[in-house]
């Protein structure tokens, strides 16, 4: 098997790749990495071609991108373009300010990525794509689409937040890791806990030894160990001057943040000062939104009949692409209000990370919410909706909702454990469990809510 490895890091590096090569004949032909020099040297000494994640993201390899050997079928372009409503929102994650990518720049980026990665796949005779996490950084999702078109399998790790256990997925439309069958097997044996195993039927996955390749939790904890640089020990002034006016962090020697600035190329490297200004702008914007949300939100639910929509953090892989074409949360709220019974109220709970200034995600991604988002919902739906306070705790809620809805948040699993049905709109790892109903077409929502299939979960089956 000839592989492209996407997202190789120091915690899953040369030793792990060599193990897979030796034991199940996974031959690495190309890697996209975020490695330190010591690990990268090992791949170089074994003549394995590589490219950094940042270079892959910004298409920063002129020599290779200009030398294209294989002509591409127009149907491949069409196949990729059919997914533009999923690809387009991914660009938000890399925008310095809203609208930094023009329509033409997005189209050029997609076309250039298709050309390059199609040629790599053909040149290296690739027949398996191994992602370390679900493809969500534009370029790796385009690789996923190309391989789907060419009928080349993909695989990636999914973290279900279960004590550091990871399992393998290979498609956005399947119950992950055959979870549905595993769950039903447990129910039939009258056991309570959900069985989660890597039972993918694909022949390439059956031989993987979990104890060898699953991430080590302790390694993950040590991943961001403190770095030191003796040069700056006694000269903080010099350090901050270098930080503010250099294009790379003076300690890590990495770019501060890969963001597209309007009217500049995507591979433009910002200086530290500009990165700080971007953070300050994010902080100020979030503080304003946070205070507005506090004003419009309620701590308690007064109505007897209600359902809760738990919003997802954005921009993140859970929405782009895990939600597929159901990532527009305003549209979801609108359709929920229109389709729930007239005597129901929709309670909306913002994701705790979205307005959390202390979250690590806050300093990785731009703040894409704005006051207008909440204002439009309140104005349009009035008493049919309420926003729940940030401190609202679902597990201590005195009254149970008729159902909860989420794109794919883990709250969906919490809900079914409490015997409350869950509607998901995107790809969720627990979607094979009883009481979890996936709606991938919003038009079916009203009919489904009123159907006999949608009901409280029978406690006896749990």
Structural domain spans, the chain? 2-189, 285-461
pLDDT for residue 152 is more than 90? yes
Task: Express each pLDDT in 65-101 by its tens digit.
Answer: 667 788 888 999 999 999 999 999 999 999 999 999 9
Condensed to tens digits (0 to 9), the pLDDT of residues 185-222 reads 544 544 333 333 333 333 333 333 333 333 333 443 34
> Do the Cβ atoms of 32 and 50 come closer than 8 Å?
yes
**Structure confidence at residue 154 as a pLDDT band (50, 70, 90):** very high
In this prediction, residue 62 carries a pLDDT of 62
Q: Tell me the per-residue pLDDT of 356-388, one tens digit each, with 9 for 90 and over.
A: 888 777 677 899 999 999 999 999 999 899 999
| pLDDT score recorded for residue 260 | 92
pLDDT for res 249: 82
167-175 average pLDDT score:
73
Whether the pLDDT of residue 258 is over 60: the answer is yes
Give the model's confidence band at 163: pLDDT under 50 very low, under 70 low, under 90 confident, else very high: low
398 exposure class (CB count in 10 Å sphere: 0-12, 13-18, 19+): exposed
Average pLDDT of the chain? 81
What is the rounded distance in angstroms from the CA atom of residue 265 to the CA atom of residue 88? 17
How do residues 389-432 score in pLDDT, each as one tens digit? 998 988 888 888 989 999 999 899 888 888 888 999 988 888 77
Kindly provide the b/e burial profile for residues 403-417, where b requires at least 16 CB atoms within 10 angstroms of the residue's own CB. Answer: bbbbbbbbbbbbbbe
Cα 102 to Cα 55, 77, 107, 262, distances in angstroms: 20, 19, 9, 8
> Which are the contacts of 417, defined by CB distance < 8 A and separation ≥ 6?
462
pLDDT higher than threshold 70 for residue 39: yes
Of 433, 106, 173, nearest to 325 (Cα)? Answer: 173
Assign 301 a pLDDT band (cuts: 50, 70, 90).
Answer: confident
Mean pLDDT, to the nearest integer, of 304-315?
A: 93
pLDDT of residue 162: 64
Q: What's the mean pLDDT in 238-263?
A: 85
Q: Are 114 and 74 in contact (CB under 8 A)?
A: no
Mean pLDDT calculated for residue range 5-21: 91
- SS in 3 state form for 231-277? HHCCCHHHHHHHHHHCCECCCCCCECCCCECCCCCCCCCCCHHHHHH
| pLDDT for position 75 | 95
Q: Is the pLDDT of residue 159 over 80?
A: no
pLDDT at 176: 54
The domain 285-461 belongs to what CATH superfamily?
A: Glycogen Phosphorylase B; (3.40.50.2000)
Averaged over 4-19, what is the pLDDT? Answer: 91
Q: ∠ CA(112), CA(116), CA(117), 5° rounding?
A: 120
Q: Which two tokens stand for residue 250?
A: 């003076």
């Amino acid at each position: 098997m000839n592989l492209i490895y996407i997202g190789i890091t120091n915690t899953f590096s040369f030793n792990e790749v060599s193990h897979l090569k030796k034991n199940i004949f996974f031959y690495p032909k190309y890697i996209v990495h975020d490695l330190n020099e010591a690990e990268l040297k090992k791949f170089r000494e074994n003549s394995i071609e590589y490219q950094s994640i940042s270079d892959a993201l910004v298409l920063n390899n002129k020599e290779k991108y200009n030398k294209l050997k294989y002509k591409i079928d127009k149907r491949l372009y069409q196949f990729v373009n059919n997914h533009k409503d999923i690809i387009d929102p991914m660009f938000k994650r890399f925008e310095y300010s809203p609208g930094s990518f023009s329509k033409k720049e997005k189209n050029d980026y997609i076309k250039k990525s298709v050309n390059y990665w199609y040629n790599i796949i053909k040149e290296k005779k690739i027949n398996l794509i191994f992602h370390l996490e679900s493809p969500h950084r534009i370029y790796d999702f385009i690789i996923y689409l190309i391989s789907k078109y060419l009928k080349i399998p993909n695989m990636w790790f999914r973290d279900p937040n279960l004590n550091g256990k990871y399992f393998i997925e290979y498609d956005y439309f399947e119950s992950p890791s055959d979870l549905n069958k595993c769950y039903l097997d447990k129910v039939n044996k009258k056991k309570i806990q959900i069985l989660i195993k890597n039972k993918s039927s694909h022949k390439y996955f059956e031989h993987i030894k979990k104890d060898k390749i699953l991430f080590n939790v302790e390694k993950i904890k040590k991943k961001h160990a403190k770095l030191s640089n003796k040069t700056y020990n006694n000269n903080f002034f010099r350090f901050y001057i270098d930080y503010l006016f250099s294009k790379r962090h003076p300690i890590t020697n990495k770019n501060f943040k890969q963001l597209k600035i309007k009217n500049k190329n995507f591979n433009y490297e910002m200086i530290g000062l500009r990165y700080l200004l971007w953070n300050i702008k994010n902080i100020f914007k979030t503080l304003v939104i946070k205070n507005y949300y506090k004003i419009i939100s309620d701590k308690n639910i007064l109505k007897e009949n209600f359902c809760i929509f738990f919003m997802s953090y954005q921009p993140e892989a859970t929405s782009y692409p895990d939600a597929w074409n159901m990532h527009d949360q305003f549209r979801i709220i609108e359709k929920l209000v229109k389709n729930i019974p007239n005597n129901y109220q929709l309670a909306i709970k913002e994701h705790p990370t979205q307005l959390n200034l202390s979250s690590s995600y806050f300093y990785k991604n731009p703040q894409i919410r704005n006051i207008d988002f909440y204002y439009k919902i309140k104005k349009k739906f009035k008493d049919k909706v309420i926003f729940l306070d940030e401190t609202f705790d679902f597990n201590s809620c005195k009254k149970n909702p008729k159902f909860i809805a989420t794109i794919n948040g883990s709250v969906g699993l919490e809900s079914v454990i409490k015997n409350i049905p869950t509607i998901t709109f995107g790809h969720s790892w627990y979607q094979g469990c009883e009481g979890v109903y996936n709606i991938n077409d919003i038009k079916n929502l009203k009919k489904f809510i009123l159907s006999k299939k949608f009901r409280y979960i029978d406690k006896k089956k749990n």
